[in-house]
C-alpha cells in the first residue's frame, strides 16, 4: 500500500467498475506507474496532481488479445505505431499481436525482432502470440520461455497462407505445450470443408460476397472446436478459441467445458452486432474469417456465449487491409480475390458500451470479458486486468452515455475499411491511461512511439 507517500497523481471524480462490481464517486491514486489505492477521495493519499475525470467511468485497462499489427512484411496495411495509436484512441491499454506476418513468427529470433520493433514503436503495452506449424514443433519449449502470450494454430486457411499442422503433428504439439505454462489458441475452422465448398462455388462462377459465408458454414467451426477439445482432453493442453462466431460453436464449447476440458474462448463485437445481412448490403468489406452469421446463430451466440457465460473474452481480430484490397469502391470485386478481416480497435469499446446501454451485458461483465479474463488467460494477471494495489495503473475512461456515429475517415489505422462505418454508438472513450500516463486524452494520442512495454512475464530478460 501507499503508506504516507505522496502520490504522483490522483484520478478523481469518477465511478469505478471492475469485474466484481461498481464503486460510485471514488478516485485512484498512482505512484511510480502503479496503483497505490482505490477508494473515496478522502481515503486516498495526497498527490502532486489531481486529474478530474468529470464524472466518467474508470475501468481496468481494456486488453485486446487479437491484433494483426502486420509487421514485419505488410507495413503498407498497418504497423506497430499506427495499430497502437488506434488502440490508445480505442481505450485499449494492452494489445496482443498475431503472428501471421511475413515472415511468420515461429522462432525465438523472429520473436526478438517483434519485441525490438514494438519497443521502438508501440504507444501502449504489448505482447505477442507465436505460430505453431508442421515445422517448429521442436522449438515449442524455447518459445514458451521467451515471454510469449500464447501459441496459435491456424486450422483454416486465412490471411498469410499458413498451412495447418496435420492432426498427428497437432496432437504432438499439444502434448509439448501441455508441458509449458502457456495456452494454445486456434483459428478454428475445418479447412477441408472450406476448400471443397470454395472450390465448388469458384467453379460455378459464384463470386458474390455471401458465397464466402456459405463456404465456411457453422459446421466447419463446430467440427474444429470439437476436434481441438477432443485433443485437449487427451493431452491436457489448455486451449483457446479465437474469434468464435456462431451459437452452434458456443454450444459445442460449453459441452466440452462441462466435461472438464480447459478451453477458453473469445468472440468479437462484429459477431454480436451484425448478422450476415450486412454482407449482402455492404459486400466484400464485410468479408471476415469466420464469417458473419445468420440471425439464429447470432441469437444463440448471445444466449450461450454471453448470457450463460460460455465465452471468456471480447477481442477485435483487428485485421487491416487497404480499401483497394477490400473492394471498398468496387462492388463487382470477386469475394475470392478479397482478403478477410477489417479494423476494429476504435469500435470495440463503444460497441460493448452500446450493448451495456441496451441492457444486453452489465458493465462488470463487460470488464470481465474485456480486461480481467484476457489478462488471466494470457498470463498477465494481476499486473494487467485488475485495479489491485501494486499493479500497473492502466485505465480506460469512458462516457457511457455519449451518442455518436462513426465516420471511418476519423480512424487512426492505416486501413479504415469496416462494416461499422455509419453505425451509431452509445458510449465513447474519453481517456486512456497506461502505467499512470495519459496516452489518449479524448482528442489526441499523447504517448510517444516507444512508450509501450512488454506486458507478459519478463522471462525474456
Ligand atoms: C485475419 C487477417 O487478415 O490476418 N483475417 C480474418 O478474416 N480474420 C486472419 C485471421 O484472424 O484469421
Ligand atoms: Zn483467425
pLDDT per residue over 219-242, tens digit each? 999 999 999 999 999 999 999 999
Ligand 1 atom with minimal separation from the 321 CA: 3
Which among 240, 284, 247 is positioned nearest to 263, based on CA atoms?
240
Mean pLDDT of the chain: 97
**Residue 4: pLDDT band with limits 50, 70, 90:** low
Could you give the CA distance from residue 51 to residue 14 in angstroms, rounded to a whole number?
Answer: 10
Mutate to test the pocket of ligand 1, among 266, 286, 341, 417 (most ligand atoms within 8 A of CB): 341
Long-range interactions of 160-164: CB distance < 8 A, separation 24+? 160/100, 160/101, 160/102, 160/104, 162/100, 162/104, 162/131, 162/133, 163/133, 163/134, 164/133, 164/191
Helix, strand, coil in percent for the chain, rounding step 5: 35, 25, 40
409, 348 Cβ separation under 8 angstroms: no
Q: Does 317 sit in the ligand 1 pocket, CB within 6 Å? A: yes
Could you give the CA distance from residue 316 to residue 341 in angstroms, rounded to a whole number?
Answer: 10
98, 77 Cβ separation under 8 angstroms: no
pLDDT given for residue 342 in this prediction: 98
Q: Does 153 sit in the ligand 1 pocket, CB within 6 Å? A: no
Parallel, antiparallel or unpaired: strands 184-187 and 151-154: parallel
Where does 45-190 have alpha helices with state H? 80-89, 108-121, 140-144, 167-178
Helix axes 191-203, 218-235, angle to 10 degrees: 160
Is the pLDDT assigned to residue 382 strictly greater than 80? yes
**Residue 460: pLDDT band with limits 50, 70, 90:** very low
Q: Does 159 sit in the ligand 1 pocket, CB within 6 Å? A: yes
Which among 393, 373, 374 is positioned nearest to 383, based on CA atoms?
393
pLDDT given for residue 318 in this prediction: 98
pLDDT single digits (tens) 64-77: 999 999 999 999 99
Mutate to test the pocket of ligand 1, among 66, 70, 289, 419 (most ligand atoms within 8 A of CB): 289
Mutate to test the pocket of ligand 1, among 150, 158, 209, 285 (most ligand atoms within 8 A of CB): 158
Please tell me what DSSP assigns to residue 138: G
Burial of 205 by CB count in 10 Å (0-12 exposed, 13-18 middle, 19+ buried)?
A: exposed
pLDDT given for residue 459 in this prediction: 47
Q: Does 315 sit in the ligand 1 pocket, CB within 6 Å? A: no
Taking CA atoms only, the protein residue closest to ligand 1 atom 12 is 158
Parallel, antiparallel or unpaired: strands 313-314 and 395-405: unpaired
DSSP character string of 26-65: EEEEEETTEEEEEE-GGGSPPEEEEEE-TT-EEEEPEEEE
Mutate to test the pocket of ligand 1, among 72, 221, 340 (most ligand atoms within 8 A of CB): 340
Contacts of 114 (CB under 8 A, 6+ apart): 71, 72, 97, 105, 128
Rounded to the nearest angstrom, the distance between the alpha carbon of 345 and the centre of ligand 1 is: 14
Rounded to the nearest angstrom, the distance between the alpha carbon of 46 and the centre of ligand 1 is: 47
32, 385 Cβ separation under 8 angstroms: no
Nearest bound ligand to the CA of residue 185: 2
Ligand 1 atom with minimal separation from the 289 CA: 7
Q: Does 187 sit in the ligand 1 pocket, CB within 6 Å? A: yes
301, 247 Cβ separation under 8 angstroms: yes
pTM of the model: 0.97
Residue 239's beta-bridge partner residues?
A: 184, 263
Please tell me what DSSP assigns to residue 225: H
pLDDT given for residue 1 in this prediction: 46
User: Which H or E run includes 217?
Assistant: none
Is the pLDDT assigned to residue 6 strictly greater than 90? yes
Taking CA atoms only, the protein residue closest to ligand 1 atom 10 is 158
Could you give the CA distance from residue 239 to residue 220 in angstroms, rounded to a whole number?
Answer: 18
Q: Does 223 sit in the ligand 1 pocket, CB within 6 Å? A: no
Is the pLDDT assigned to residue 345 strictly greater than 50? yes
Could you give the CA distance from residue 177 to residue 240 in angstroms, rounded to a whole number?
Answer: 13
Parallel, antiparallel or unpaired: strands 437-440 and 62-67: unpaired
Query: ∠127-128-129 over CA atoms, to 5°?
Result: 145
Rounded to the nearest angstrom, the distance between the alpha carbon of 35 and the centre of ligand 2 is: 35
Q: Does 164 sit in the ligand 1 pocket, CB within 6 Å? A: no
Q: Does 288 sit in the ligand 1 pocket, CB within 6 Å? A: yes
Q: Does 188 sit in the ligand 1 pocket, CB within 6 Å? A: no
Q: Does 427 sit in the ligand 1 pocket, CB within 6 Å? A: no
What are the cell numbers at 406? 462513426
Q: Does 312 sit in the ligand 1 pocket, CB within 6 Å? A: no
Parallel, antiparallel or unpaired: strands 151-154 and 130-131: parallel
pLDDT given for residue 2 in this prediction: 44
350, 425 Cβ separation under 8 angstroms: yes
Parallel, antiparallel or unpaired: strands 395-405 and 57-60: antiparallel
Which among 444, 447, 410 is positioned nearest to 425, based on CA atoms?
410
Q: Using the CB atoms, write b or e for 109-121: b if 16+ within 10 Å.
A: ebbeebbebbeeb
Taking CA atoms only, the protein residue closest to ligand 1 atom 11 is 317
pLDDT given for residue 3 in this prediction: 53
pLDDT given for residue 161 in this prediction: 76
pLDDT given for residue 458 in this prediction: 55
CA distances from residue 241 to 39, 87, 238, 266 in whole angstroms, order as listed: 36, 22, 11, 6
Is the pLDDT assigned to residue 457 strictly greater than 90? no
Handedness of CA 379, 385, 386, 389 (dihedral sign): positive
Query: ∠22-26-28 over CA atoms, to 5°?
Result: 105
Rounded to the nearest angstrom, the distance between the alpha carbon of 317 and the centre of ligand 1 is: 7
pLDDT single digits (tens) 125-164: 999 999 999 999 999 999 999 999 999 999 988 898 798 9
Which among 327, 311, 336 is positioned nearest to 252, based on CA atoms?
311
The residue whose grid cell reads 465448398 is: 197
Amino acid at each position: 500500500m501507499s503508506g504516507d507517500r505522496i502520490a504522483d497523481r490522483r484520478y478523481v471524480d469518477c465511478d469505478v467498475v471492475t469485474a466484481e462490481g461498481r464503486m460510485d464517486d471514488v478516485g485512484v491514486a498512482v505512484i511510480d506507474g502503479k496503483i497505490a489505492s482505490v477508494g473515496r477521495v478522502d481515503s486516498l493519499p495526497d498527490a502532486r496532481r489531481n486529474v478530474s475525470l468529470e464524472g466518467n467511468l474508470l475501468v481496468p485497462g481494456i486488453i485486446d488479445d487479437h491484433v494483426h499489427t502486420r509487421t514485419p512484411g505488410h507495413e503498407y496495411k498497418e504497423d506497430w505505431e499506427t495499430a497502437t495509436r488506434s488502440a490508445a484512441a480505442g481505450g485499449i491499454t494492452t494489445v496482443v499481436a498475431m503472428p501471421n506476418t511475413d515472415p511468420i513468427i515461429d522462432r525465438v529470433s523472429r520473436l526478438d525482432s517483434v519485441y525490438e520493433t514494438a519497443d521502438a514503436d508501440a504507444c501502449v503495452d504489448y505482447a505477442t502470440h507465436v505460430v505453431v506449424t508442421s515445422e517448429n514443433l521442436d522449438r515449442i519449449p524455447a518459445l514458451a520461455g521467451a515471454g510469449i502470450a500464447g501459441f496459435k494454430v491456424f486450422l483454416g486457411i486465412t490471411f498469410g497462407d499458413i498451412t495447418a499442422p496435420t492432426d498427428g503433428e497437432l496432437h504432438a504439439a499439444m502434448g509439448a505445450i501441455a508441458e509449458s505454462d502457456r495456452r494454445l489458441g486456434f483459428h478454428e475452422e475445418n479447412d477441408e470443408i472450406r476448400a471443397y465448398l470454395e472450390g465448388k462455388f469458384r467453379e460455378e462462377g459464384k463470386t458474390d460476397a455471401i458465397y464466402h459465408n456459405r463456404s465456411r458454414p457453422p459446421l466447419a467451426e463446430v467440427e474444429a472446436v470439437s476436434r481441438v477439445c477432443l485433443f485437449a482432453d487427451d493431452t491436457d493442453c489448455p486451449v483457446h478459441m479465437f474469434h468464435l462466431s456462431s451459437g452452434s460453436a458456443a454450444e459445442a464449447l460449453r459441452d466440452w467445458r462441462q466435461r472438464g476440458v480447459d478451453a477458453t474462448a473469445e468472440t468479437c463485437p462484429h459477431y454480436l452486432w451484425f448478422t450476415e445481412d450486412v454482407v449482402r448490403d455492404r459486400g466484400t468489406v464485410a468479408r471476415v474469417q469466420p464469417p458473419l452469421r445468420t440471425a439464429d446463430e447470432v441469437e444463440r451466440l448471445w444466449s450461450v456465449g454471453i448470457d450463460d457465460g460460455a465465452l471468456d473474452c471480447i477481442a477485435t481480430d483487428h485485421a487491416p487491409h487497404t480499401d483497394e484490397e477490400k473492394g471498398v469502391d468496387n462492388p463487382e470485386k470477386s469475394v475470392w480475390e478479397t482478403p478477410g478481416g477489417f479494423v476494429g480497435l476504435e469500435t470495440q469499446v463503444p460497441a460493448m458500451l452500446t450493448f451495456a446501454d441496451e441492457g444486453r451485458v452489465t458493465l462488470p461483465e463487460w470488464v470481465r470479458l474485456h480486461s480481467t479474463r484476457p489478462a488471466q488467460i494470457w498470463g498477465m494477471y494481476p499486473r494487467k486486468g485488475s485495479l489491485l494495489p501494486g499493479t500497473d495503473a492502466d485505465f480506460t475512461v469512458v462516457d457511457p452515455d455519449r451518442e455518436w456515429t462513426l465516420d471511418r475517415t476519423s480512424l487512426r489505422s492505416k486501413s479504415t475499411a469496416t462494416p461499422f462505418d455509419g453505425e451509431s454508438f452509445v458510449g465513447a472513450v474519453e481517456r486512456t491511461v497506461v502505467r499512470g500516463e495519459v496516452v489518449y486524452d479524448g482528442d489526441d494520442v499523447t504517448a510517444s512511439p516507444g512508450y509501450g512495454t512488454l506486458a507478459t512475464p519478463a522471462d525474456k530478460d
